[in-house]
Structure 1
Amino acid sequence: MFTERRIERHQLPCFLQVFNRLTDKPIGFLGNVSEEGLMLISQIPMMVDVDFELRLKIPGLEGGFQAIDLTATCLWSHEDINPQHYDSGFHVRQAPEEYGQLITALLRYFSFDPLQASA
């Protein structure tokens, strides 16, 4: 029976917390991300059809954080399958170049290329 994990798991909420850019208070965790939008997982529902000033704090190489500031509109918000959690979909209206770099890095990190695995 297989008992040892070959790929280490990483708990994303430990790294990808989302903050209110104006107050620097945490509002949730990044559930998924694309160039056009993101999904936020939070403990309260988000107001729909409202613009939010968001900040992603990405862990830096030397222990600090890199802030990525976004303006995004909440398109929908509903209760998650997990009790007391809500999923909310956002359309990103304004984002810096670093946001695109984050998406590229996440895709590369979570993608599995079977050709490279057999080499």
Structure 2
Amino acid sequence: MFTDRRIERHQLPYFLRVFNSVTDKPIGFLGNVCEDGLMLISHWPMMLGADFELRLKIPVSDGILQVIDVQACCLWCHEDATPHHYDAGFSLQRVPPEYGQLVEALKLYFSFQPLPASA
């Protein structure tokens, strides 16, 4: 039986926390992203149809964080397979350019695309 992992597993949800941008209190973790939406994993269910002011704090380097604020509407929410966790899908209504850069960076980081040849 194969037991050694050759590729390191990256647990994205437990690295990128999501905050309420009004109170700056954590509300969950980023589950996945796309250009016009995101999935939040939280300990609390989210109210459907409600607008949320969300804040992402992205580590850049040496403890420096890039703050990305987005306005989003909760489209769906259901209990996760993990006990006491909820998954919620959000449609983004106000998206700064930095969010698009984050989506592209995550696509590159988690893909198996060949690196560009150096000149």
The structural deviation recorded for 1:3 is 5.7
1:55 aligns with 2:63: no
> Secondary structure at the residue paired with 2:108?
helix
Please, which moves more after superposition, 20-29 or 8-17?
A: 8-17
Tell me the CA shift for residue 65 of structure 1.
0.7
1:15–1:58 CA contact under 8 A, matched in 2:
no
Deviation readout 1:59-104 (Å, 9 max, x if unpaired): 0112111100000000111111111110000000001100000000
**Partner residue in 1 for 2:88:** 88
Identity %, equivalent residues: 66
* In 2, Cα distance between equivalents of 1:112 and 1:6: 14
| Higher normalized helix content (fraction of residues) | 1
How many residue pairs get matched? 116
Q: Look up the match of 1:12.
A: 12
Residue ranges of structure 1 left out of the alignment (5+ in a row): none
Is contact 1:15-1:59 (8 Å) kept? no
RMSD of equivalent CA atoms: 1.9
SS in 2 for 1:29: strand
Gaps of 5+ in 2: none
**Letter in structure 1 aligned against 2:13:** P
Normalising by structure 2, we get a TM-score of 0.88
